[in-house]
Amino acid sequence: MSARAIATAVRAGERSARSVVEEHLAAIDSGEGEIHAFNLVLADEALVRADDLDRRIANGEDPGPLAGVPVALKDNLCTRGIDTTCGSRILEGWRPPYDATVVERLAAAGAVAIGKTNLDEFAMGSSTENSAFGPTRNPLDTSRVPGGSSGGSAAAVAAGFAPLALGSDTGGSIRQPAALCGTVGVKPTYGRVSRYGLVAFGSSLDQIGPFAATVEDAALLLEVIGGHDPLDSTSIPEASPDLLAVLGRGVEGLRIGIISELMGGPDRAASVEGIADDVRARVEQAAEALAAAGATVEHASVPSTIYGLSAYYLIAPAEASSNLARFDGVRFGLRVDADTAPEMNTATRTAGFGDEVKRRIMLGTYALSAGYYDAYYGKSQKVRTLIQRDFARAYESFDLLLSPTAPTTAFPLGDKTGDPMLMYLNDVCTIPSNLAGHPSMSVPFGSGDDGMPVGVQILAPALAEATMFRAAAVLEGSAP
Amino acid sequence: MSNQALIPGWEVVIGLEVHAELATVTKMFSSALNQFGGKPNTNIDPVSLGLPGSLPVLNEKAVELAIRVGLALDCVIQRSVFARKNYFYPDMPKDFQISQYDLPINGEGSLELPDGRRIGIERAHLEEDTGKSTHVGGGGRIHEAGHSLIDYNRAGVPLIEIVSAPDMRGAEEARAYVSELRAILVAIGASDGKMEEGSMRVDCNVSVRRDGTTELGTRCEVKNINSLRSMGRAIEYEARRQVDLIESGERVEQQTRHWNEDDGRTHKLRSKEEAYDYRYFPEPDLVPVEPSDEWIAEIRAALPMLPRERRRRLADAAGVEPSATALTVERGMDDLAVDTIAAGADAARVLVHVENNLADGVGELTAASFAALVAMETGGDLTATQAKTVLADLAASGGDPAAHAADHGFEAMDTSELEALVDRLIAEHPEVWAGFVGGDDKERRKKAGFFVGQVMRATQGNADGRIVNELLARRATEQGA
């Protein structure tokens, strides 16, 4: 049952919120042992919340557009009084004294928080294998990864544990797992959704967004969480976008460009490498579907996107090295005692952080160091400007752009853990949107040669979520 | 101002970094209260503790106060960007400080000292304060302490850091600069400027060079200065230390040094090589601050009178140099002085009274009663000593100076009585009189002082010293001297 159908039934008093929650808790009970989508299932809290909603509905109140809908929350979103681990030992047992803005907005819309989902530690990874609490498995084939870093959220939706989930996307952490698990995943325009209460990874890139089984449900969730928040200075002073109303409008007359640089293939020299043939074939098929629905589809060039990955792996770690400094054992989370404060800091961070987090802290610290700043951080900011300029130029000719979401379908666990660079390449198609601050989303479109889902990425200019969702609805309707 | 060489043959060069807490209601980036002296860890929230997921939101009032400071120091007010200054310290919640780096809100400006000299201001930027550590055990030193306690009430309090050019040449001038800066900050309501509560803190950059050279010497930064007095001592100690090094053939190493109040010395904290690499980069959680021209104009229009403007106003009214009005302005009595002079009082007498006879404050004294008093004094109805007594009465309880004078039985002494007294004293002290009549100016003043003193003793201070002097001069003339 879709989130929209659940909310409609619950608001009309046709279904109790308790029955909805019980049904999903039962699904979790039977599947979670194998999948490990959650770090924490909020079974008791969800039932208490459901009963409260049912009482309010019985009293004639309307709890809102997500009445009774279970939502899974990535475990880097702060939840008042509830463990928020970021998949890290260093935050084990920490309970924030406040809710993230998105969590407050979900509550105000009648949603039920059903659990905290697993993730790569501090959202650093593309397979959810970097969690301190063990990997999450892909519900469609448990020998494979669900993608990452929001793998738990993607898996929760794909497994039917929750119709909706929230993730965070710094370089593709919503879209790539959505693609690998066959769900819809959206990274909104930077500033569209408040980051207040999202534990920061790369502050200038991070954005919270929805996972859902359908495009409509993703739109519903984004409408609820979007809109200005005075607690986030980078929040755009605009109301949440009106998406549900435009979903049926089709793509007639829209100009859509396939980004040549992100398609790979033997005849494209100036393209990123590693795009699998079966993935490319599906993207081309999706383009045909959009053309068949009345869009003009052509090849587009956004040349500097091929440098996105390199720039990203300097900017994101640089910001992370600073953002993660506060995990020092002084005020919250893990503390490993030592004789002096600096020794305590070191001991705590050595014991509390995993290898990938340490790797990125070191990378970022180096990139910001005196004497290296200009060559690394400074230069990557120039690349970022270049990418923004190239996108702006492309959007003079196109309303939307198209590319693969991930280079391949879901890969086996352990396949890439030994080679960080290979793992980083997963984000090669998703990173440019983060660097530009633009919205983009992944929509499932058929499967690869291995039968695993393929995601097509739709990219849009800043604040053009509505146009993006129109194309997503068309792709959803024409998916093989 | 005295800028006499501290060490003969050497010039001391001083630049100051002054941190002042801005007088906002709430903190720089959150709604926690900015309040001194609260119970530890009560004025806190997720942002001031740097909790994961918290984000800073800039306090507009802090920006306004910073702009006031910039305007008062004639700075260029510009588009500014916050930056992260990264280093680990337990009382710094995020382990980075939000500051401003290459684009401060206030660019170059200057500060005018009471003597008219201008000290260059390089910048005045916004940043957040840290928490406060207390080291328990081991005499309060961090390395020997058993454990440390941290109060985060101060964490996130807005600061303005005002960086001067290396334009000061001695401890006295540095003190004058800090006093003037404090007066400005207080006058414009930007800060309470209390050094003793730590709401104003000074770091001194000190270097020395041989007289006649223009190249700057290697500087040392001296921290932990808690009062104007210790600043002067620290500068003098540090300058001598550097001169001693150079004169004994060694070099001054660029260092950060710690002033120790107890032993009166500076001690090395770290050398340039050991200095932190702060890895500054633009703070991604905040947007650039771009104050509009309209807003700046609004703030400028609402700016109260600055100390230098007050000195000039009083100097114009009194017909003296601005430096002669510094004390009056410093005491906040210039409004009274200006009004009193405007009411017709003799400016010189007004300034003398304000500087010498109102140390306990103006109390109930009004410009009208002050002017009436000075008129009585200059009209010969009261002597200087009597006027001082009546002034104290006016400050204590207000009222009419004539009534107070009458209460004390002050009446102008009859000039003929005074003449008789002077003649008697001349007769009783012929050798002193001879010295007066025949001496040079200096000798003459000395002898006159003797006679005035005798007259005052005989009249219990009720005589007017000026008239005594006039009488002495007239007698001397009559004798053909």
- The region, left, alpha or beta by phi > 0 then psi within -120 to 50, assigned to residue B346 is beta
Cβ contacts (< 8 Å) between B287 and chain A: which residues? 233-234
Mean pLDDT of B99-117: 96
The answer on pLDDT for A282 being more than 90 is yes
Q: Do B50 and A197 touch (CB under 8 A)?
A: no
Contact A257, A298 (CB under 8 A): yes
- Cα–Cα distance measured from residue B74 to residue A56, given in angstroms and rounded to the nearest whole number: 61
Q: What gap in Å lies between CA A26 and CA A46, rounded to an integer? A: 13
A237-248 b/e (C-beta count within 10 Å ≥ 16 → b): eeebbebbebbe
Cβ of A233 within 8 Å of Cβ of B55? The answer is yes
B275 in contact with chain A, both atoms CB, cutoff 8 A: no
Q: Does B284 touch chain A (CB under 8 A)?
A: yes
- What is the distance between the alpha carbons of residues A242 and A226, in angstroms, rounded to a whole number? 10
Residue B93, chain A, CB below 8 Å: the answer is yes
Instruction: For residue A230, list chain B residues with Cβ-Cβ distance below 8 A.
Output: 57
- CATH C-level class of A3-228: alpha beta
Chain B partners within 8 Å of A370 (Cβ): 277, 279
pLDDT for res A268: 65
Query: B285, A233: Cβ pair inside 8 Å?
Result: yes
Chain B residues whose beta carbon lies within 8 Å of the beta carbon of residue A91: 52
pLDDT, position B2: 41
Q: What are phi and psi of A386, to 5 degrees?
A: -60, -45
Rounded Cα–Cα distance for residues A12 and A32 (Å) = 31
Instruction: Return the bridge partners of B106, or none.
Output: B77, B124
CB pairs A-B closer than 8 Å: 103
Cβ separation of A234 and B287 shorter than 8 Å? yes
Instruction: Choose, out of A92, A198, A231, the residue to mutate when testing the contact with B (most B CBs < 10 Å).
Output: A231
ipTM of the complex: 0.96
The vertex-A397 CA angle with A391 and A400, nearest 5°, equals: 65
Q: Per-residue pLDDT for B411 more than 80?
A: no
Asked whether the bond before A149 is cis by omega within 30 degrees of 0, the reply is: yes
- Best B55, B272, B283 member to test A by mutation, with max A CBs in 10 Å, is B55
- On the question of pLDDT at B27 being above 70, the answer is yes
Cβ-Cβ contacts under 8 Å for B414 (sequence gap 6 or more): none
Mean pLDDT of chain B: 92
Indicate which of B26, B89, B95 best probes the interface with A, i.e. most A CBs within 10 Å of its own CB: B95
Who among A341, A345, A368 is closest to B279 (CB)? A368
The closest of A392, A437, A391, A440 to A190, measured between CA atoms, is A437
The per-residue pLDDT of chain A, averaged, comes to: 97
CA distance B300 to chain A (A): 27
Q: Which CATH superfamily is domain A248-310+376-478 in?
A: Amidase signature (AS) domain (3.90.1300.10)
User: Do B224 and B269 meet the contact criterion of CB atoms below 8 Å apart?
Assistant: no
Contacts of A200 in chain B (CB under 8 A): 52-53, 285
Q: Which of A299, A300, A303 is nearest to A270 (CA)?
A: A303
A 49-88 → B contacts, CB under 8 A: 76-78, 84, 86
B49, B50, B55 member nearest A232 (Cβ): B55
Q: From A340, which residue of chain B is nearest by alpha-carbon distance?
A: B143
| A474-to-A214, A270, A443, A446, A467 alpha-carbon distances in Å | 12, 30, 10, 14, 11
Residue with the two structure tokens 């009430």: B153
Q: How confident is the model at residue B174 (pLDDT cuts 50, 70, 90)?
A: very high
Residues of B in Cβ contact (< 8 Å) with A340: 143
Q: What is the token pair recorded at A275?
A: 């795009």
Of all residues in chain A, the one with the smallest CA distance to B48 is A331
**B133–chain A Cβ distance below 8 A for any pair:** no
Tokens 């007294």 — which residue? B421
In the predicted structure, residue B413 carries a pLDDT above the cut 70: no
The answer for A 406-465 residues in CB contact with B (under 8 A) is: none
Kindly report, residue by residue over A389-404, the tens digit of the pLDDT: 999 999 999 999 999 9
- Separation CA A469–CA A447 (nearest Å): 21
**B97 to chain A, closest Cα gap in Å:** 10
Query: Is the model's pLDDT at B7 over the cut of 90?
Result: no
Distance from CA of A210 to the nearest CA of B (A): 18
By CA distance, what is B88's nearest residue in A? A325
Nearest CA in chain A to B84: A322
- CA gap A446, A450 in Å, rounded: 11
Q: How would you label A40-56 residue by residue, b for 16+ Cβ within 10 Å and e otherwise?
A: bbbbebbbebbeebbee
Q: How many CB atoms sit inside 10 A of residue A479's CB?
A: 18
Q: A132-146, A157-171, A184-198, B182-196: which range is least confident on average? A: B182-196
Q: How many CB atoms lie within 10 A of CB B152?
A: 23
DSSP H helices, A200-296, are 215-225, 277-292
Q: Which amino acid makes up residue B386?
A: Q
pLDDT at residue B139 in the model: 63
Interval B51-69: pLDDT, tens: 999 999 999 999 999 999 9
Domain residue ranges in chain A: 3-228, 248-310+376-478
Phi, psi of B236 (to 5 degrees): -65, -45
Q: Which whole number is the average pLDDT over B342-362?
A: 92
CA of B193, closest CA in chain A: separation in Å?
30
Rounding to the nearest 10 degrees, give the CA dihedral for residues A35, A40, A43, A48: -150
Q: How confident is the model at residue B1 (pLDDT cuts 50, 70, 90)?
A: very low
Taking residues A300-319, report their average pLDDT.
96
Give A217's contacts (C-beta < 8 A, 6+ positions apart).
A2, A3, A4, A163, A164, A184, A210
| Least-confidence region, from A68-82, A102-116, B348-362 | B348-362
Q: Comparing A3-228 with A248-310+376-478, is the CATH topology the same?
A: yes
Interface check B305 vs A, CB under 8 A: no
Of A43, A74, A54, A314, nearest to A173 (Cα)? A74
Structural contact between residues A400 and A458, judged by C-beta atoms closer than 8 angstroms: yes
Catalytic residues of A: 74, 149, 173
Contact A117, A28 (CB under 8 A): no
> What local confidence, expressed as pLDDT, does residue B268 receive?
94
Half-sphere exposure of B61 (CA within 13 A, CB side): 17
Q: Which position has the token pair 């201008």? A: B118
Q: Which residue has the tokens 């001397």?
A: B476
Residue B57 at interface with chain A, using a CB cutoff of 8 Å? yes
What's the whole-number mean pLDDT along residues B119-134?
Answer: 96
Residue B25 vs residues A148, B46, B291: alpha-carbon distances, Å = 44, 18, 21
- DSSP class of residue A193 equals B
Rounded Cα distance between A114 and A165, Å, is 9
Residues contacting A394, CB < 8 A, separation 6+? A257, A259, A300, A301, A302, A401
Spell out where A80-230 has E strands. 112-117, 164-169, 184-187, 207-212
B409/B177: higher pLDDT: B177
The angle, 0 to 180 degrees and rounded to 10, between the axes of the packed helices B171-187 and B228-247 is: 150
Average pLDDT over residues A38-42: 98
**Nearest residue of A to residue B280 by CA position?**
A368
Task: Evaluate whether B334 touches B320 at the Cβ level (below 8 Å).
Answer: no
User: In a mutagenesis test of the B interface, which of A102, A194, A331 is the best target, namely the one with the most B β-carbons within 10 Å?
Assistant: A331
Tokens of B28: 């720089």
pLDDT of residue B140: 59
Question: Residue B419 — pLDDT band, cuts 50, 70, 90?
Answer: confident
Tokens 């900050």 -> residue: B185
CA distance to B457, B469, B472, B477, B478, per residue, from B433 (Å): 18, 13, 9, 13, 13
Long-range contacts, stretch A21-26, CB < 8 angstroms, 24+ apart: A21/A46, A21/A47, A21/A49, A21/A50, A21/A68, A21/A70, A21/A112, A21/A114, A22/A47, A24/A70, A24/A114, A24/A160, A24/A161, A24/A162, A24/A163, A25/A114
Query: pLDDT-derived band of residue B142, with 50, 70 and 90 as boundaries?
Result: low
Identify the three-state secondary structure at position A323.
Answer: helix
Q: How far is CA B43 from CA A241, A412, B29, in A?
A: 37, 51, 13
Give the closest of B46, B58, B95 to A98, CB-based: B46
Q: pLDDT tens digit string along A255-279?
A: 999 999 999 877 666 888 899 999 9
Contact yes or no for A195 and B55 at CB 8 A: yes
pLDDT of the residue at B141: 63
How large is the average pLDDT for residues A212-227? 98
pLDDT value, residue B379? 85
Mutate to test the interface with A, among B279, B280, B287, B289 (most CBs of A within 10 A): B279
- Residue at B286: amino acid letter: L
Taking 60 as the threshold, does the pLDDT of residue B481 lie above it?
no
| Predicted local distance difference test score (pLDDT) of residue B218 | 96
Determine the distance in angstroms separating the CA of A199 from the nearest CA of chain B, rounded to an integer: 4
Average confidence (pLDDT) over A66-88: 98
Q: Is A3 on the interface with B (CB under 8 A)?
A: no
- Closest by Cβ to B88, choosing from A78, A342, A377: A342
pLDDT reading at B3 higher than 50: no
Give the Cα separation of A367 and B279 in Å (integer): 9
The contacts of residue A365 (CB under 8 Å, 6+ apart) are A321, B279
Q: Which residues pair with B85 in a beta bridge?
A: B97
Choose the closest CB to A328 out of B55, B58, B88: B88
Q: Does residue B146 carry a pLDDT above 90?
A: no
What average pLDDT does range B33-42 have in this prediction?
A: 92
Distance from CA of A403 to the nearest CA of B (A): 28
Phi-psi region of A382 (alpha: psi -120 to 50; beta: other; left: phi over 0): alpha
- Inter-chain contact B51–A84, Cβ cutoff 8 Å? no
Q: Residues B389-409: what's their mean pLDDT?
A: 91
Residue B447, phi-psi category: left (phi > 0), alpha (psi -120 to 50), beta (remainder): alpha
Rounded-to-integer distance, Cα A480 and Cα A456, Å: 13
Contact, A188 vs A207, CB < 8 A?
yes
Q: Is A362 on the interface with B (CB under 8 A)?
A: no
User: CA separation (Å) from A290 to A185, A456, A473, A478?
Assistant: 19, 12, 10, 9
The answer to whether residues B46 and A97 touch, using CB atoms and an 8 Å cutoff, is yes
| pLDDT reading at B189 higher than 70 | yes
pLDDT-derived band at B18, boundaries 50, 70, 90: very high
Q: What does A343-380 look like in DSSP terms, one character per residue?
A: HHHHHHHHHHS-HHHHHHHHHHHHHHSTTTTIIIIIHH
Of B76-85, B278-287, B416-425, which range is least confident? Answer: B416-425
Q: What is the mean pLDDT of residues A411-416?
A: 96
Structural domains for chain B? 10-300 (no CATH), 307-407 (no CATH), 415-478 (1.10.10)
